[in-house]
Chain A
Amino acid sequence: MQPSTRRAVMIDEAIAALRDGKFILLYDFDDREGETDFAIRSDAVTPGDILRMRKDGGGLICTAIDPVAAQKLGLPFASDVLQGTHVAEQQGDIPYDRKNHSSFSLWVNHKKTYTGITDNDRALTINAIADEVKKSLNGGGAHFSEFFRTPGHCAILRAADDLLDQRHGQTELSVAMARMAGITPSITICEMLDDESGYALPKAGAKAYAKKHGLVFIEGRDVLDRWEADKNRE
């Protein structure tokens, strides 16, 4: 199989796995974070999935949402809300992406959670975020504050308005893939850390994990290729 064909097969497999509610491993770019994240559709997340992300990933468990949903739900960028503090991030501060700000929105807990941090509580919050994203894109919902409070234990990430035309983080990559898969564009992600070096898990380590556990490993460049191909077809 030609490398280009093989990569096209991989992106199809990744989109299918995402649609099926399975974990995929999503690497960004060698010249960006150089980091692999667990990624799974938020409406499929179970407490067992939170356990896996915290045990085998080790980063923050965050939920990336579509920019249209973020606007409708009134979910701002944290960097905007925090401008009132003297510590707020400025454009150019992010070492791996000087042209964009971080994608953090609010940290939330569903109002039915207890502490907000347990696997059960985080699964509840994350499933409910997907519910609201879905409703907001179907013309309903937009009553986010009825169900959630901030601050909380689940970070929401807001994808850039122009998605991959603007920013190339796992936030935009995962939301773009959700759109390609035709599922609710709310994807829960968690960075994979290395247990020996104290750095991010290297690409080879993430690929080995994917192989061992039968997960699809996909790179940002493959997602980007599909994104561009889809645009040209329009």
Chain B
Amino acid sequence: MIDKALQALRDGRFFLIYDFDDREGETDFAIRADAVKPKDILRMRKDGGGLICTAVHPAAAHRLGLPFASDVFAKTCLGEEIGDIPYDRKNHSSFSLWVNHKNTFTGITDRDRTLTITEIGRVVRETMAGKTVDFSSQFRTPGHCPLLRADDDLLHQRRGQTELSIALAAMAGVTPAVTICEMLDDKTGKALSRDDAKKYAKKYNMPFVGGNDVLGAWDGHAGTLSQANVPAHTQMPAHEHAAVHAEGRDD
């Protein structure tokens, strides 16, 4: 299934990504940000129902100057602390800023969110390719599209859909900006169950991958990874690369 998910990523099609039974236990829609169309926003809000967020690679977040929201809001009296997140006590949430592209009107319509998200995809691709990008000339915060910043050590440190989807993008060799949205259940008021998410995947012919599948593939991928065989647009500076890939893969 991992290969089908990687192919869907390359093709700009949706796939579904479940994290872990002992984490959120939640399935998200996932699609590469630069392929998002207004009808994809429609599908995520109708059939998903969660927040429509865009996960970006840590190297891109560094270069674009995108902080963690938990750092920015630490100065307010209610800033989240490490240990606050019930399904992951060791990490903070991955929220970065909520943004609108400056050419949007309200920022919330399917067309406006598509513009913001595809432009995020574009600036992530450019910054990963080493181009200088002036993020603030194109976007403003606060806005209607939350950015998620994947952890610097990706799956070594945190195993949310943010890191899982960015690891998949790296393996697929596509721009590491992936738009995700939680799938909610319409009857129980809870997250959609894994079984029901799988049924949805089958009905609409979408690949369904679990966090364990991604971890397995990532271990193998990382074992063969060197700067030389990483596609140019996903390469990071040496020090950032070391931070992401240098540790052992024995977990």
Contact = CB atoms under 8 A, between A and B. Distances in A.
Interface of A: 33, 35, 47-48, 50-51, 54-55, 58-60, 74, 76, 78-79, 81-82, 84-90, 93, 95-96, 102, 104, 106-108, 111, 113-115, 117-120, 123, 144-145, 148-151, 153, 191, 193-195, 198-200
A54 B142 contact: no
9 nearest CB pairs, A to B: A47-B189, A198-B38, A120-B189, A151-B69, A145-B78, A104-B142, A151-B95, A78-B142, A198-B111
Among B39, B65, B76, the one with the most A-chain Cβ atoms within 10 Å of its Cβ is B76
A198 B109 contact: yes
Interface stretch (B100-108, B197-205, B240-248): B100-108
Interface stretch (B4-12, B80-88, B166-174): B80-88
A158 B81 CA distance: 24
Chain B, interface size category, equals 35 or more
Nearest to A54: B49
Nearest to A146: B78
Given A54-B45, A108-B78, A117-B50, 7 more contacts: A54-B49, A87-B136, A114-B24, A115-B87, A153-B51, A191-B106, A195-B42
B141 A148 contact: no
Given A84-B72, A89-B141, A106 B78 contact: yes
Contacts, number: 153
Contact of B73 (A86, A118, A150): A150
A114 to B, nearest CB: 5
Interface of B: 24, 26, 38-39, 41-42, 45-46, 49-51, 65, 67, 69-70, 72-73, 75-81, 84, 86-87, 93, 95, 97-99, 102, 104-106, 108-111, 114, 135-136, 139-142, 144, 146, 182, 184-186, 188-191
Contact of B108 (A60, A107, A115): A60
A150 B95 CA distance: 10
A151 B73 contact: yes
A91 B43 CA distance: 34
